[in-house]
């Protein structure tokens, strides 16, 4: 521990103040370079999608941390930039798009697999590598389930890909979050009669009418060939992320949250090794500290309402409420503390309940067993001016167990209606050191360009690089000739989401506190 403290003393832990400058501003000793941005070509036919969010890197060889595949989510599109569609011109914008515009937008969501390599401290993409590919809203994807859903065992596309994870068998996980904005949603009245609620956000339904039930799932992508499957057993809702843990007997535990006001936190425990199909989905009652099984066969309350387990999983939100799940303030990212095994869940906010700043929830499973059915939940840290952050979103532990966190106050906080957010200025990246005099403090180390959100923090295997997404700079632009941000400062002045590599003393030293005795 003393050694660790000595290293820490040599780390400049001076944070940066909140800023509303249109730039990616980093703490002293850090620098960044852009790896890939919206529109960059990755091979002869494909380009990098819009609004990159989750990032994750898997090296080809564990002994070479500098060459491998990067997975990046593309969450949603801004039509003004992607399809040159100006929604402000129309009363009912979704009725005025052309099929060509919709197709462009469908291409720009989903995800990207791209080989990246580090040479002389600089990461760059390996163009035309045979593994480079796009997954889009039109890619054919299998359902990992025995019962067809809306008559299908394969579906068209993935969308609303927010955060994600990695499996113990080294495949990518991407989560479909606000899916209802694309092909609408099916709602049920008191008599249990379904009704389709169309989405007006993008107008895709004018040309394509895929069932909403085909979206809102956890999706697994195989890096080798880009084949993908949706894991029905993990339930359907606005999945922010999915964080997996492999038990000693190779069964899998998956934590996943529903990012919507008053929705829930879930955990899947597999009954077979390496399966994301066979097992039980639980939902949390955080007051009683209980994981409640969303199991049709053993729950009379669910049998009364739903016709089978498939329907329980499709309508997981309703099922969760029936069996007594605790409503939470928008669960976002989830990470497992590599040292204590505690589970950290960001609760980003719940404005109607006057929770403007959110908090980080800590879950301690009973006896530290990830398949336990009871747990203790406490608030680890509350957002607000006292702790210097608001609206926590993504989390990442580094190699030493320091916790890194991004914020998502959504849009430009200098907008008048968002008064509680004024002091926080632009969205940021923070670190919460584990050791030393600043242990437990929330220190701002990066500030995002205007209207942007920093997402997808992911450390390279050697702990020398922090991959980070800069998502939706200039999102509030009304006139494309006068964008609210011009980051990353290309000649065309168009703001572009991009994945950057952050390097420097602070990151290397924080990660080097490592070699922790477990
Ligand atoms: Fe897409 Fe919950 O953030
Ligand atoms: Ca986002
Ligand atoms: Ca998010
Ligand atoms: Ca968010």
CA of 453 to the centre of ligand 4 (A): 8
Ligand nearest to the CA of 177: 1
For ligand 1, is residue 176 a contact (CB within 6 Å)? Answer: no
Contacts 24+ apart (CB under 8 A), 270-274: 273/249, 274/168, 274/169, 274/250
With a 6 Å cutoff on the Cβ, whether 446 touches ligand 1 is: no
Tell me which residue of 5, 7, 21, 4 sits closest to 447, measured CA to CA: 21
pLDDT tier, 436 (very low <50, low <70, confident <90, very high otherwise): confident
Residue 271, domain member (yes or no): yes
Q: Tell me the average pLDDT across 276-293.
A: 98
Decide whether any atom of ligand 1 lies within 6 Å of the 177 Cβ. Answer: yes
| Beta strands 392-397 and 185-188, pairing class | unpaired
How would residue 12 be classed by pLDDT, with cut points 50, 70 and 90? low
| Total number of domains in the chain | 1
Q: Kindly state the greatest CA–CA separation across the chain.
A: 66
Which CATH number covers residue 254?
Answer: 2.120.10.30
- Does some domain include residue 209? yes
DSSP one-letter code for 77: -
pLDDT of residue 231 exceeding 50, the answer is yes
Which atom of ligand 1 lies nearest, measured to the CA of 332?
Answer: 2
Dist. CA 333 → ligand 3 center (Å): 7
Overall average pLDDT of the 258-285 stretch: 98
User: What's the pLDDT at 435?
Assistant: 87
pLDDT value for 299 = 97
Q: Is 263 in the pocket of ligand 1 (CB under 6 A)?
A: no
Confidence of residue 516 (pLDDT cuts 50, 70, 90): very low
pLDDT of residue 8: 60
Distance CA 292, CA 284 (A): 6
Q: Does residue 139 lie within any of the structural domains? A: yes
d(CA 269, CA 282): 8
Q: Which residues surround ligand 4, an ion (CB under 5 A)?
A: 393, 408
Q: Is the pLDDT of residue 518 over 50?
A: no
Q: Is residue 388 part of a domain?
A: yes
Please work out whether the CB of residue 453 comes within 6 Å of at least one atom of ligand 1: no
517 within some domain: no
Residue 518 inside a domain? The answer is no
**pLDDT band with cut points at 50, 70 and 90 for residue 5:** low
Q: How confident is the model at residue 167 (pLDDT cuts 50, 70, 90)?
A: very high
**What local confidence, expressed as pLDDT, does residue 14 receive?**
81
Question: Phi and psi for 458 in degrees, rounded to 5?
Answer: -150, 125
Q: Flag whether pLDDT at 219 surpasses 70.
A: yes
pLDDT value at position 125?
A: 98
- Among 38-47, 160-169, 466-475, 503-512, the minimum mean pLDDT is found in 503-512
Please write the tens of the pLDDT for every residue from 365-380. Answer: 999 999 999 999 999 9
Q: Cβ(48)–Cβ(498) under 8 Å?
A: no
Q: Summarize the confidence of residues 90-119 as an average pLDDT.
A: 95
Res. 477: pLDDT tops 60: yes
429 close to 408: Cβ distance less than 8 angstroms: no
Q: Is the pLDDT of residue 408 over 80?
A: yes
Closest CA to 469 of 35, 143, 4, 111: 35
- Which residues, 6+ apart, have CB-to-CB distance to 417 below 8 Å? none
From CA 390, how far away is CA 115, in angstroms rounded?
Answer: 34
Mean residue pLDDT across the chain: 95
Answer yes or no: is the C-beta of 360 below 6 A from any ligand 1 atom: no
Closest CA to 311 of 300, 319, 321: 319
pLDDT for position 306: 98
* 305-309-314 Cα angle (round to 5): 80
Average pLDDT over residues 27-40: 96
The string of pLDDT tens digits covering residues 318-349 is: 999 999 999 999 999 999 999 999 999 999 99
Q: Give the pLDDT score at 414.
A: 67
Q: How confident is the model at residue 385 (pLDDT cuts 50, 70, 90)?
A: very high
Answer yes or no: is 400 within a domain.
Answer: yes
Q: For the CA atoms of 52, 55, 57, 58, what is the dihedral angle to 10 degrees?
A: -100
**Would you call 352 exposed, middle or buried from its count of C-beta atoms within 10 A (0-12, 13-18, 19+)?**
exposed
State the distance from the centre of ligand 1 to the C-alpha of 177, rounded, in angstroms.
7
Mean pLDDT of 101-108: 98
Q: Residue 47's CB: how many other CB atoms inside 10 A?
A: 16
Kindly tell me if the per-residue pLDDT of 515 is higher than 60.
Answer: no
Interface ipTM: 0.94
Residues 6 or more apart in contact with residue 74 via CB below 8 angstroms:
49, 50, 51, 52, 53, 108, 109, 110, 111, 112, 161
Residue 245 belongs to a domain? yes
Range of the domain at 52: 2-458+465-512
**Predicted local confidence at residue 417, as pLDDT:** 72
Distance CA 145, CA 230 (A): 8
Ligand 1 atom showing the smallest separation from residue 163 Cα:
1
For the chain, the first-to-last Cα distance in angstroms comes to 13
Q: Looking at ligand 1, which atom is closest to the CA of residue 162? A: 1
């Amino acid at each position: 521990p003393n050694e660790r403290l000595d290293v820490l003393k040599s780390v400049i832990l001076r944070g940066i103040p909140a800023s509303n400058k249109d730039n990616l501003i980093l703490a002293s000793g850090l620098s960044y370079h852009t790896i890939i941005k919206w529109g960059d070509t990755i091979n002869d036919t494909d380009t990098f999608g819009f609004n990159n969010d989750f990032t994750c890197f898997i090296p080809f060889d564990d002994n070479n941390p500098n060459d491998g595949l990067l997975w990046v989510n593309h969450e949603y599109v801004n039509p003004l930039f992607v399809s040159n569609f100006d929604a402000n011109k129309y009363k009912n914008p979704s009725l005025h798009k052309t099929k060509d515009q919709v197709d462009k937008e469908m291409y720009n969501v989903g995800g990207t697999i791209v080989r990246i390599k580090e040479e002389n401290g600089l990461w760059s993409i390996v163009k035309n590598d045979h593994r480079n590919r796009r997954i889009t809203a039109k890619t054919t994807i299998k359902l990992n389930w025995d019962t067809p859903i809306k008559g299908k065992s394969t579906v068209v596309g993935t969308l609303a890909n927010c955060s994600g994870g990695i499996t113990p068998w080294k495949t990518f996980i991407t989560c479909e979050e606000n899916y209802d904005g694309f092909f609408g949603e099916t709602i049920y009245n008191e008599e249990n009669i379904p009704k389709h609620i169309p989405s007006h956000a993008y107008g895709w339904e004018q040309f394509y009418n895929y069932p909403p039930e085909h979206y809102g799932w956890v999706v697994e992508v195989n890096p080798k060939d880009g084949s993908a499957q949706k894991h029905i057993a993990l339930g359907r809702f606005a999945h922010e992320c999915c964080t997996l843990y492999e038990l000693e007997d190779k069964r899998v535990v998956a934590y996943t949250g529903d990012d919507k006001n008053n929705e829930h936190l879930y955990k899947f425990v597999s009954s077979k090794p390496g399966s994301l199909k066979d097992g039980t989905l639980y939902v949390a009652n955080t007051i009683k500290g209980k994981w409640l099984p969303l199991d049709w066969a053993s729950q009379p309350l669910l049998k009364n309402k739903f016709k089978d387990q498939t329907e329980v999983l499709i309508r997981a939100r309703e099922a969760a409420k029936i069996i007594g799940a605790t409503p939470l303030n928008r669960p976002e990212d989830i990470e497992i503390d590599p040292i204590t095994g505690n589970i950290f869940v960001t609760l980003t906010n719940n404005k109607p309940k006057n929770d403007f700043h959110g908090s980080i929830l800590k879950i301690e499973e009973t006896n530290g067993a990830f398949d336990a059915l009871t747990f203790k939940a406490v608030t680890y840290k509350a957002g607000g001016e006292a702790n210097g952050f608001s609206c926590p979103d993504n989390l990442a532990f580094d190699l030493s167990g320091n916790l890194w966190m991004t914020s998502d106050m959504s849009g430009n906080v200098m907008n008048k209606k968002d008064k509680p957010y004024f002091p926080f200025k632009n969205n940021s990246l923070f670190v919460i050191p584990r050791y030393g005099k600043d242990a437990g403090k929330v220190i701002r180390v990066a500030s995002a360009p205007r209207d942007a959100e920093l997402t997808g923090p992911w450390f390279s295997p050697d702990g020398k690089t922090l991959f980070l997404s800069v998502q939706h700079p200039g999102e509030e632009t009304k006139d494309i000739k006068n964008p609210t941000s011009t980051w990353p400062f290309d000649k065309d002045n168009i703001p572009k989401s991009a994945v950057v590599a952050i390097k420097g003393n602070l990151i290397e030293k924080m990660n080097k506190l490592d070699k922790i005795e477990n």
